[in-house]
Amino acid sequence: MSLPKISKIFIIGGTGAQGLPVIKSLVADKKYSVRVLTRDPNSARAKSLLALGNVELHEGTFADEEILRSGFQGCDGAFVNIDGFNTGEKSEIYWAIRAYEIALQSGIKFYVYGNLDYASKKSGYDPKYRAGHYDGKGRIGEWIVFQNQVNREKMGAALFTTGPYIDMAIAAKTIMTPTVENGVVTWRLPMGTGSMLAVALEDCGVYVRWLFDNRERSNGMDLEIAIEDVKWAHFAKAFEEVTGHPAKYIDTSLEDYWKERETFGQMPAGYNAVPNDKSTMNVKDNFTGFWNVWKYSLLKRDYNILDEIHPTRIKTAEEWLRMEDKKGIEDGKGTLWDRIQGENLIPILKIGEDNWGGKL
Ligand SMILES: NC(=O)c1ccc[n+]([C@@H]2O[C@H](COP(=O)([O-])OP(=O)(O)OC[C@H]3O[C@@H](n4cnc5c(N)ncnc54)[C@H](OP(=O)(O)O)[C@@H]3O)[C@@H](O)[C@H]2O)c1
């Protein structure tokens, strides 16, 4: 039996760091058109998407059933990345479930869920690894795969499981923004000698496009991606190789890491999460679990399958740094070394641009 055609994809999170390359890749050859949910159709990011062509904007929030229903209406595909740093973990879980259910009711034929590893489960429920933004997505990822056992003919589904964007290592207002100290670019991170399964945003587009283009195979799949297992001392060395300027990684205790971020650490890990709700983790507790995931190299990836799906994928952090250096020069942003200087650093995350605030 041939699969139903997918031509129009409803996107949640399209103006975000992850959504932008996904949309670029979906509309590049006009095979797909997209409808992008945004709270602000006048933002620079929303306008940049319109300029790609085959893009329409749908104003509203994912935290509203009527908006979700009207967004899915008339589309046959969906890519859904619910922003848990807006809602907090508890509401993210609710809206992620409702988004799947309403997509199914609305006649969506293929649903791609922007997922993260269920780190608590993968650690045997060790509280050391508890990060609300990982568990909040990972639980729903498992739930979707389970629903899909029954629903797969009506609405296929796949998980797109990512990890920390490597792009955050050279951007402003992220959890791994560097500083230049006496001419040395320095990452002070609580990662020990562990490995981070960092992801290149550039490649996210290719992978999501593959999921939509190859539904016979991708229906029910959990596509877990990363560049490689990145050790931060190697990342700093690669930065030196690529730029010719000194760089270092300083393994930092969690205590010292949070001393530098006291106010941020006390904020709810979701700018619209209810602060005095006992289920709301603060940023410090949430990202302590996150850093432990990498410090103790909890998670794994199968790079063979990624090589098969995307043979020209970015395979090392050094390769990413080289590409990024070249691209920055071509785009008139300057070399990586120029871009990393404090006054030149720019946010990659929309939440950074929006200063961790906005409507639910
Ligand atoms: N940072 C990382 O390394 C990383 C890696 C993998 C996954 N994630 C996850 O990705 C999610 C965030 O996406 P991102 O990384 O692309 O961050 P981002 O650049 O900050 O983008 C946030 C996106 O969410 C949208 N959004 C926020 N609240 C919304 C609402 N109420 N209704 C509709 N859209 C809303 C924003 O759209 P508008 O502002 O246009 O409305 C924007 O498109 C989080 O759940 C995070 O855990 C992050």
Provide the mean pLDDT of the chain: 98
Q: 110-115 and 156-161: which strand pairing? A: parallel
Closest residue CA from atom 47 of ligand 1: 133
Mutation test residue for ligand 1: of 10, 11, 18, 48, the one with most atoms within 8 Å of CB: 18
Which of 174, 295, 184 is closest to 230 using CA atoms?
295
Tokens 């992220």 correspond to what residue?
174
17 CA → ligand 1 middle, Å = 7
Q: Which of 120, 34, 116, 21 is nearest to 71 (CA)?
A: 34
Name the residue of 50, 350, 354, 355 whose CB sits within 8 Å of the most ligand 1 atoms, as the mutation to test its pocket.
Answer: 350
Is the full-model pTM beyond 0.85?
yes
pLDDT given for residue 36 in this prediction: 99
316: Cα separation from own chain's centroid: 18
**Contact, 349 vs 356, CB < 8 A?**
no
Give the domains, in start order, of the chain with CATH numbers.
Answer: 8-164+200-224 (3.40.50.720), 166-196+228-299+315-353 (3.90.25.10)
Per-residue pLDDT reduced to its tens digit, 28-83:
999 999 999 999 999 999 999 999 999 999 999 999 999 999 999 999 999 999 99
> Residue 349 contacts by C-beta under 8 Å, 6 or more apart in sequence?
16, 17, 168, 171, 173, 174
Residue 1 has pLDDT above 80, yes or no: no
Query: pLDDT of 116-172, one tens digit each?
Result: 999 999 999 999 999 999 999 999 999 999 999 999 999 999 999 999 999 999 999
Contact 140, 187 (CB under 8 A): no
Q: How far is the C-alpha of 147 from the C-alpha of 261, rounded, in Å?
A: 40
In the prediction, which pLDDT does 2 show? 84
Closest to 13 measured CA to CA, from 70, 75, 86, 69: 86
Containing 37, the helix (H) or strand (E) segment is strand 33-38
CA distances to 106, 134, 163, 198 from 226, in Å: 32, 15, 7, 5
Q: pLDDT tens digit string along 199-257?
A: 999 999 999 999 999 999 999 999 999 999 999 999 999 999 999 999 999 999 999 99
